[in-house]
Amino acid sequence: MKLQAVLFDVDGTLSETERDGHRVAFNMAFEETGVPWNWDEELYGKLLAVTGGKERMHYYVEHFLKEDPTKYSEQIPLLHKIKTKHYVSLMGSGRIPLRPGVHRLLDEIKKAGIKIAIVTTTTPENVYALVHGTLGPSGMEYFDLVAAGDIVPKKKPAPDIYHYALEQLNLKPEDTIAIEDSENGLKSSLGACVKTIITVNGYTEDQDFNGAALVLSDLGEPENPAEIIGVNDSGKTYVNLQLLQTIHAG
């Protein structure tokens, strides 16, 4: 069966957006609105247990402040809007680059006429801002579909966003392969029966990636090899289209 689409997660996969992007934007929103919260790097790592910005604030109130989150049911959506405004402007300044190998692989997939989709829990504006900030004004032309944010009721680790993307692409799970960076992302893709490659990062390297087809430090470059963490019988030190096709067929 031919590989017909590659499904890319965004945060942590295309770019290391969490620590220096989302976290910073949350703190800017708290400061702007006078909310006395501040999420340091370590705390933010714990908050990443929950995907989605509104859901993450809800989780923080309930599990870290030990307060009733319904008290904040009007404030959280407002804080999230302000956070998105800050995130978009941070990304516009191009401060966070793409991870190694991402641009090269996008080019290779596109040239081969294989579809590329974004499958993420983050807000669509954030995706456009990151793509414009890193791939330029025509960067969105790489992508045939953006499946993002609140378009589905349940965010990752639920498989809903992958089901939605497959439906929109009119493809079956076995026609595709996903690239993710986190356990929540892997649960979501595997829940939709999509074979998945994991590129880890500082926040996710100790997570459980059981079931992934390949786990590595990043996608790597021919001159800058990735570290292979799990399942590699290909002998390759970077991910190219040929490796994606081999894994997909295996």
CB of 87 to ligand XBP, least distance (A): 7
Shortest approach of ligand XBP to residue 61 CB, angstroms? 15
Q: Cα separation of 8 and 120, whole Å?
A: 8
Sheet containing strand 176-180, strands side by side: 145-148, 115-120, 5-8, 176-180, 195-199, 214-216, 228-230
Centre a 10 Å sphere on the Cβ of residue 70 and count the other Cβ atoms it contains: 10
* Residue 11 bears catalytic tag: yes
Per-residue x/- marks for Mg ion, 4-33, CB under 5 A? Answer: -----x-xx---------------------
List the one residue from 5, 12, 133, 244 that touches ligand XBP (CB under 6 A).
Answer: 12
The entry of Mg ion, ligand XBP, none near residue 16 (CB within 5 to 8 angstroms by kind) is none
For ligand XBP, the closer of residues 186 and 236 by Cβ is: 186
Q: Encode burial over 84-118: b for 16+ CB neighbours within 10 A, e otherwise.
A: bebbbebbeeeebebbbbbbbbbebbbeeebbbbb
- Annotated active-site residue 68? The verdict is no
Task: Give me the torsion for CA of 18, 23, 28, 31, rounded to 10°.
Answer: 170
Contacting range for ligand XBP; rule: CB under 6 A; set: 46-54, 101-109, 166-174, 204-212 = 46-54
Nearest to 102 by CA among 235, 201, 203: 201
Q: Which does 126 bind (CB under 5 to 8 A by kind): ligand XBP, Mg ion, none?
A: ligand XBP
Which residues in this chain contact ligand XBP in the complex, by CB under 6 A?
9-12, 18, 22, 51-53, 83, 120-123, 126, 156, 185
Which residues in this chain contact Mg ion in the complex, by CB under 5 A?
9, 11-12, 181-182, 185
